[in-house]
């Protein structure tokens, strides 16, 4: 019985080591598995992970329309006051007043990219973009207005 345990122990040990060596041997012989990005050289073809968080952006469609209702949920969700929303009132064709954003101010220098604002948004107006080259010569350039000039809210978003 003792001998049987001993031999099975040796067998299990060797087989698990060989399993590990098979995996590393596979990586050694398959250069397509290499995940290194030689960054400054391959700027044009850089591949980033989908979940990479570089900055907050507000997507606009081809009619220069966004989906932000100006509800300020993101402003409330932000732990360090990165977002400031200035609202205004638009006049709809029916003559009613409707709340809309004047400026979505985003201070990248204060942002920790925690994703809480994106999670808080009820209308998916903002999202994280993979751009990470943020260095500028003047700090004030990091304060951005996310809604394009002249943009308006998409029809049917409340």
DSSP one-letter code for 154: P
Nearer to another protein, 28 or 89 (CB): 28
Quick one: 25 or 122, whose CB is closer to another protein? 25
Distance, CA of 107 to CA of 85 (rounded, Å)? 11
In the list 15, 24, 45, 135, the residue contacting another protein (rule: CB under 8 A) is 24
Cα atoms in the 13 Å half-sphere on the side-chain side of 4: 1
Binders in 32-71 for another protein, by CB under 8 A: 33-36, 38
| 61, containing H or E segment | none
Residue among 100, 85, 84, 104 at smallest CA distance from 145:
104
Residue closer to another protein, measured from CB, 33 or 155: 33
Please, what is the minimum distance in Å from the beta carbon of residue 37 to another protein? 10
Cα–Cα dist 111/67, whole Å:
22
Question: Would you count residue 25 as binding another protein (CB under 8 A)?
Answer: yes
Stretch of residues binding another protein (CB under 8 A), selected from 30-38, 66-74, 108-116, 139-147: 30-38
């Amino acid at each position: 019985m003792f001998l049987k345990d001993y031999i099975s122990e040796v067998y299990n040990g060797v087989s698990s080591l060989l399993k590990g060596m098979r995996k590393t041997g596979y990586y050694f012989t398959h250069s397509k598995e290499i995940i290194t990005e030689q960054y400054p050289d391959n700027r044009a073809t850089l591949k980033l992970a989908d979940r990479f968080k570089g900055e907050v952006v507000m997507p606009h469609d081809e009619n220069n329309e966004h989906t932000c209702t100006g509800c300020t949920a993101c402003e409330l969700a932000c732990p360090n006051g990165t977002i400031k929303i200035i609202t205004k009132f638009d006049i709809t064709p029916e003559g009613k007043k409707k709340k809309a954003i004047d400026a979505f101010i985003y201070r990248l220098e204060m942002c920790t990219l925690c994703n809480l604002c994106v999670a808080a948004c009820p209308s998916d107006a903002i999202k994280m973009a993979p751009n990470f080259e943020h260095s500028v010569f003047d700090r004030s350039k990091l304060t951005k207005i996310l809604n394009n000039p002249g943009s308006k809210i998409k029809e049917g978003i409340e």
